Amino acid sequence: MIPITLKKQLLDLARHLCPSQRGGFLRSVVRRLDDLALNYPRTVVYAAAGCCLGQVLDALTGFPAGIPGLVAGGLFGLHRDLNADSVEEEVRRIIQKEFRAHFDFA
């Protein structure tokens, strides 16, 4: 799920490319964002939430906060994803160590 504001920005960027390159650019970005969503789901969710919150602040105050909100939310989500991965890896190591300690593979 790509926020509408990000879609608009991607389309604006694509307009700067020659017509034959626009489709490839947009397909590549969407593919890579899909990969990101699979590998770092919290990053994408927090980035989208930050972008939405930024757009609301923009509408209320006139301060353009959409992109800063997107970046801040993305960084927060990435931090959460990376910490979750380290915890999951630690759990995996504990289970492997205990499994090896309690079972004989001879």
Distance of CA 44 to the CA centre of its chain: 3
What is the chain's alpha carbon radius of gyration, rounded to the nearest angstrom?
A: 20
Q: Is 73 exposed, middle or buried (0-12, 13-18, 19+ CB in 10 A)?
A: buried
DSSP code at position 64: -
pLDDT at 70: 81
Model confidence pTM above 0.75: no
Q: How far apart are CA 32 and CA 34, in angstroms?
A: 5
pLDDT of res. 102: 58
Q: Please report, for the chain, the start and end positions of each structural domain, with discontinuous segments joined by +.
A: 4-102
Q: Once rounded to an integer, what is the mean pLDDT over residues 12-18? A: 84
